[in-house]
Structure 1
Amino acid sequence: MELRHLISFLALAEELHFGRAAARLHLAQPSLSQHLRRLERSVGAELVARNSHEVRLTPAGHAFLDLARDIIAKVEQAGQAARAAAAGRAGTLRVGYNFPAGQRVLPAALAELDRRHPAIDVEMRELRTGPQLAALTEGRLDLAMVYGKPSSTSLHSRRLLRVPLVAVVGHQHRWAGRDRVPFSELAGEPCVLFRRAQSAAMYDTIVTAARASGIRLTIAEEVDDPGATAILAAVRPVVGFASAARGGLGGTRTTAVALYDPVPVLDVHAVWSDEANPLVAAFLDCLPATSSV
């Protein structure tokens, strides 16, 4: 059963006249008759009856008509969907993000994307930088929002946000009542850090700030999960680190203390690997201008 034969049948069913149906389809009448015969052979039933006075649908033709219309409509919808996806107006975009991007960038971008392209679905995953970049490289994400500009030449990036880092301490810590402390006061303080592979840019920013202030950090714990960092800071006299956008990781259990001299600062970048992906291009067009916390 060929699509053109269905189209010819529908035109004939609507016109009930071979001449008008052929003209509508820009076909010669013999070609239209041939289409009908081939369709009837494929279906195994006579669909159109004709004599010298009239053209009419047989009972089989009436039964076939609505389903044939559904088939043509589905084919048209499939074409529209394919064209929309090719143009970046439909499909599923997989986006990774970190906490600052989720708070400061993603809500406005998603609202604008939904306004412009309501047929684009977005799957979101909150991850640290390292896992996001790995997922991007392996094709499990289409776009990542991470700390730092990637060094790989195969990745493209755009700076979105600049955020300072803060110290996170429990309410019993001696810093808990202070608004800010110089970075050098971290000398000798037991700190909670994470493996560099989890977020190289954040790790390097902290270590570089320590070096600039003339101290060496005392790493008491290595914890990759921000929630676990908050728990440790809440119950032990240790110092964790977070972006100012996140603040006190544990809500009422911890408090954020600004660091200065130097102020450790991080850039959040949108990163993608496939520059030709129209869904990525549509999302990038919806991102707000670069800002700072």
Structure 2
Amino acid sequence: MPEPGRDVHALLNDRLDWNLLRTFRVIGQELSISRAAARLHLTQPAVSQALKRLEEQLDCQLIARRGPRFDLTEAGEEIFAIAGEIYGQVSQLSSALQRPGDEMIGKVRLLMISRIFSDRFDDFLAQFHRLHPRVDLEIDVMRSSDIVSALLEKTATVGLSLNRRPQPRLEQRLFLRQRYAFYCGRHHALFGRGNLSDSDLQSENFVSFTSDQIGGMLSPLTIFRDQQGFRGRIVASSPNLEEVRRLVIAGFGLGCLPEHVVADDVSNGLLWRLPPSGGIADVDIHLLWNRDQKMSRAEHAFIDSLAQRLAQD
């Protein structure tokens, strides 16, 4: 820590390392040193050392450990929010430097949830690239909650995400409606059985998304289970669709999965579709962007073109 008597805050403007703030921002998003290290392509000791150095420079504790996990302290929450604002301002430098008469160049940062299958979106990307070959596209796959946070912090151009509660600062357009249904894996006792009814599922255990709770992004699935009186436990969970799918296939329990995403798994004998025949719930994926964010010409073109394409369909 700094020497006694020195004014720590007077030194921050000159000596605070932005890379440490950027690292802390990812730590705050992941609430895990190991996951933050994976996202940043760094080692865990390097991330831990960066956190320690930032705490020393700020002369305050930023995280409070809870066994293997931790939470942000009150000061950590404030620094996390400030780091997001700073990152958002840095991300807009390219738009401030671009001259109106230039050929359209720049970068569009798109955040997406995993396993979005859409032919019309693929066609849109191909057409946009033909029209604007010097616009670079950066795509990151994240959880819905992280996508919404990044857009509010103005650190990305646009997102394709679940968003049950509209945000006042975010524009929202319906991108894709996903029908969720119950499935079991090939190792489950119900696999391959015909003539099943809803009552046959009521005591079965479940694999769930971590956002599948009241108030979460996928809470319609929770509401359906509660209304139907299902008594089984949630025995495994993940925020990642791929991992939920893996656990369902492995036989941990029943799972609610998007029909169009797992259609090939059903055809290949990995998953078995369960009642009710009409599915469980429709969950919407939205196109989101921050209306207050200063955009480059490239970013405006990407958003406007995609929004127009959605309006045509």
TM-score normalised by the chain length of structure 2: 0.56
1:290 Cα offset (Å): 6.4
Contact 1:183 1:210 in 2 (8 A): no
Which residue number corresponds to residue 289 of structure 1? 310
1:177 has 2:177 as partner: no
Change beyond 3 A, Cα 1:233–1:149: closer
| 2:129 counterpart SS class | helix
Q: Displacement, 1:128?
A: 2.4
2:173 aligned with 1:158, yes or no?
Answer: yes
Structure 2 SS opposite 1:221: strand
Aligned residues: 212
Query: Which AA in structure 1 matches 2:133?
Result: P
The alpha-carbon deviation at position 148 of structure 1 amounts to: 3.2
SS at match of 1:101: coil
Aligned to 1:255: 271
**Paired amino acid for 2:280:** V
Question: Which moved further from structure 2: 98-107 or 130-139?
Answer: 98-107
Q: 1:216 to 1:255 in 2, by over 3 A?
A: same
1:83 is paired with a residue whose SS is coil
Larger radius of gyration: 1
Matches within 5 A, 1:118-133: 118-133=133-148
Q: Deviations over 1:88-123 (max 9, x none)?
A: x32101001124535445312211211332221110
Moved over 4 A (4+): 178-185, 197-202, 248-253
Query: Using the alignment, how far apart are the partners of 2:195 and 2:216 within structure 1?
Result: 23
Give the distance between the partners of 1:263 and 1:170, measured in 2 at CA.
Answer: 18
Give me the CA root mean square deviation: 3.6
For residues 183-205 of structure 1, give each alpha carbon's deviation from its aligned partner in whole angstroms, at most 9, with x where no partner exists. 56442211111222899654202
Structure 1 residue 243: Cα displacement? 1.5
Post-superposition Cα deviations, 1:32-81, rounded to whole Å, max 9, x if no partner, equal: xxxxxxxxxxxxxxxxxxxxxxxxxxxxxxxxxxxxxxxxxxxxxxxx95
Aligned partner of 2:230 among 209, 215, 219: 215
Whether the 8 Å CA contact 2:207–2:236 is kept in 1: the answer is: yes
Give the deviation of 1:206 after TM superposition.
0.5
Determine helix, strand or coil for the equivalent of 2:149.
helix
| Partner SS for 1:82 | coil
Q: Is the 8 A contact 2:180 2:282 kept in 1?
A: yes
Q: Displacement of 1:212 after TM fit?
A: 3.3
Cα gap change, 1:119 to 1:143, in 2 (>3 Å): same
**Pick aligned residue for 1:266 from 283, 291, 297:** 283
Counterpart in the other structure of 1:98: 113
Any unmatched runs of 5+ in structure 1?
1-79
Deviation at 1:228, TM superposition (A): 2.7
Pick closer, same or farther for the CA change 1:164–1:99 going to 2, 3 Å.
same
After TM superposition, the score normalised by the length of structure 1 is 0.59
- Classify 1:140/1:212 alpha carbon distance in 2 versus 1 (closer, same or farther; 3 Å): same
| Separation in 2, partners of 1:171, 1:143 | 38
Conserved in 2, the CA contact under 8 Å of 1:165 and 1:259? no
In 2 relative to 1, CA 256–192 (structure 1 residues): closer, same or farther, beyond 3 Å?
same
What is the DSSP-based 3-state SS (H/G/I as helix, E as strand, rest coil) of the residue aligned with 1:176? coil
Q: Distance in 2 between matches of 1:285 and 1:109?
A: 12
- Measured in 2, the distance between the counterparts of 1:118 and 1:199 equals 44
Instruction: Among all aligned residue pairs of Structure 1 and Structure 2, give the percentage whose two residues are the same amino acid.
Output: 19
Secondary structure of 2:100's match? helix
**Counterpart selection for 2:261 from 222, 246, 260:** 246
Residues 3-46 of structure 1: CA distance to partner in whole angstroms, max 9, x if unpaired? xxxxxxxxxxxxxxxxxxxxxxxxxxxxxxxxxxxxxxxxxxxx
